[in-house]
Chain A
Amino acid sequence: MKNLSTISLFIFGVVVTAVLVAGLVFYQDTKNSQIIAGSQTGSSAQNTINQITSGGKTIVLSNKEIATHNKQSDCWLIISNKVYDITSYFGSHPGGSGVMAATCGTDATNAYMTKDPYATSSNGSNSGHSSSAHNLLNNYYIGDLNQTIGQQKVTQTNSSITQTSIPTPTTVSPVTNVIKNVTTTKVIAPSGNLTLDMKEIATHNKQTDCWMLISGKVYNITSFFGSHPGGNSTMITSCGKDATAAYMTKDPSATSSGTRSAHSSNAVSLLNNYYIGDFNQIIGQQKVTQTNTVVAPTTRGGNEYDD
């Protein structure tokens, strides 16, 4: 048993040291690029959403599909089997837009590795991109090659500063009218942390800024107004409040669950898209880029320090 601990401790030490050393060395490089990324990803996300939604419910990120985005005004490319929409990055590329435009709609892995747009192998004469460039690239990620992506839960990223689109597998229940409502994104708590307590929730009590508590979870349903089959007025009364009973009974004035019928399972899964965090949870703003990788259908947004 002592050996088990020794081995575990050794692995732990090696991994933590490696990550910390690598991370802190990178930190110097990434500081600057993060600022640039932050100022640009918003439009990038919007762009991506528009393109995805215009294509219908779902898109397979096949070579064929990518090939259709071959212009500077609509530029997708593949790097190491990941698909990126770099349209909004034109103009910011230190190497100029020309070299990038040449690779739109194609597999740009070799070009990216060698900084030579016409490279046919990754061992070119030129050196590859910096680590900060890798980092920056993450902000333009749409999905993996041949992955099926669907409409987005953009609302989740409300608690983040930067807005990036998240590919979601089609196993998510079809939420056809979510995206069109999500045109504005809010920056919550631009600095420091925010506790999702009743006091905080109560400040979001308007149709234009509506949070509610349902069964111990906090939702920002602002963008759902207009799409509610039961109308807006039934929802408005619950803004800034514990809406558990109202949600359970479909009766906005309900004080206990019961009497009237509950929401459908489709509605329940729809609600997940507006999840911010658990009641009394402290959500921070440092996890911004993390939401990129939240792929599971019933994703929880906000602070993903799961345990």
Chain B
Amino acid sequence: MFIIAILSFIPVVVWFFMQPLGVRFFDLNATTTSLGQIFGLVGMVLFSINLILAGRFKFLDKYFKGLDKVYINHSKLGAISFSLLLFHPLFLVIKFITISIKEAALFFVPFINAPITWGIISLGLMIVLMSLTFYIKLKYHVWKISHKAMVIVFIFAILHTFFISSDVSRNNFLRYYILSLAIIGLLVSFNKAFLGRLLVKKLKYKVKNVNQLNESILEIEMEPLNKKMIFNPGQFAFFEFINGKVSSESHPFSISSSNVESNLKITIKNLGDYTNELINLKINDSVLVDGPYGNFSYKNIQNKNQIWIAGGIGITPFLSMAKSLERDYIIDLYYSVKENKEAVYLNDLQELSQKIPNFRFNLWAASLNGYINAGVVANLSKDLESKDIFLCGPPAFMEGLKNQFLSLGVDIKKIHYENFNFNL
């Protein structure tokens, strides 16, 4: 976040020194025009950075401590950039309103002046795409395609930025600064949108087995065709299945097998259209795997005294972690389900808890005991202050427990969770 702030601050500083402030903020017209310029400038910088954030880079995964955080920042930054760009013409139009309302109206009419037209097209399309993102629940893959159209918005925005007479056209540093950010952003998004298969190294796997664990949970086992993925238990990857009946975009799933097994397993709950299609997978279907990503692993925390709490399908990273657990850890795993029959991998987990001395496993069925809460965990595990807490489950489940632990006085730094509800 710090780097982003610096990057967006640089052009503002340059802009400030281009002309004396007395000129920039001479009167209402000059002030609003100046604000309009700054908003446009910063909005554009953030837009460029946001395309880079969307690039699913491993270095971002490390820098932000998890790809989920990258995407949380991406959506925040997107909203800020969008708002800045919305106000950009509003500030600029004030100058015209003081002349006549007609001139002001003409300012919003496209096809009078080419650079302005590009700006209008760009902002108009951006409004549509952002509305789709914020207000209309599209199916994931439809939304994903719609969001890729942001590149078009960006191209028009670049044209607008460079061909309009402005400080960017007058100051070489500003010009090349914005241009290089824009080009990087553009390359990243082109790479992702069109060349993704060529430039991102994806590992080749094939489907070895598809197990229906219960009525709504599917386990897919995959065998590496050449190199296998090296990962930390708890991490996730993007999977792209090559099967005519499964849509071809890649989706993130956390890995449920351990890192010592040769085959890769993911365990998927049927939650929507895509996961519904996966039932059609056949043995020997090809799979492209991009990963690993994520920072959610017991190995990343120094404290070896940990509490793991899983809600439903959120058990998958913990399963991987438990299978590869090193002996010197003290772990209490809580597996919260609505009803006992919903729980998967029960045998594996019970076996592990018998085998590993310091690994305690508690199944918690809401139908019998009510929903799990921080108080219950504190009673059963004791000595909460000395432990780090890992949460994985539905967003509301994690949010609720996190707040309960916070109110019990647990340090927020000791609560670890990964938001799997992000759109990628």
Q: Which residues of A contact B (CB under 8 A)?
A: 1-2, 4-9, 11-12, 15-16, 19-20, 22-24, 26-27, 30, 134-135, 138, 169, 171, 193, 216, 277-278, 281-282, 284, 286, 289-290, 292-293, 295-298, 300, 302-307
Contacts and interface: CB of A to CB of B under 8 A. Distances in A.
Contact of A307 (B114, B130, B134, B160): B160
A289 B100 contact: yes
Give the interface centre of A15, A27, A216, A295 by most chain B CB atoms within 10 Å.
A15
B100 A135 contact: yes
Given A20-B108, A286-B106, A306 B99 contact: no
Contacts of B37: 306-307
Nearest to B90: A15
A7 B119 CA distance: 21
Given A5-B130, A23-B105, A307-B40, A138 B99 contact: yes
Nearest to B44: A307
Interface string B167-189: 01110000000000000000000
Contacts of B30: 295-296
Given A1-B79, A306-B33, A307-B40, A295 B102 contact: no
Contacts of A19: 93, 97, 101, 104-105, 107-108
Given A12-B87, A306-B164, 17 more contacts: A5-B82, A11-B86, A12-B90, A23-B102, A24-B105, A30-B102, A171-B22, A282-B163, A290-B95, A290-B96, A295-B26, A296-B23, A305-B165, A306-B36, A306-B37, A307-B92, A307-B165
A23 B99 CA distance: 12
Contacts of B333: none
Nearest to B83: A8
A172 B254 CA distance: 66
Contacts of B130: 5, 9
Interface residues of B, number: 58
- The DSSP consensus for interface residues of chain B is helix
A27 B166 contact: no
A2 B130 CA distance: 10
Contacts of B377: none
Interface in B145-165: 160-161, 163-165
B29 interface: yes
B380 interface: no
A70 to B, nearest CB: 28
B127 interface: yes
A218 to B, nearest CB: 11
A293 B37 CA distance: 17
Contacts of B303: none
Given A1-B80, A284-B113, A298-B23, A26 B100 contact: yes
B64 to A, nearest CB: 16
A193 B169 CA distance: 19
A278 B170 contact: yes
Nearest to A131: B101
A143 to B, nearest CB: 12
Count chain B CB atoms within 10 A of each CB in A5, A24, A193, A298 and give the residue with the most.
A5
B170 A216 contact: yes
A22 B105 contact: yes
Contacts of B131: 9
A7 B108 CA distance: 20
Given A305-B164, A307-B166, A30 B100 contact: yes
Contacts of A1: 75-76, 79-80
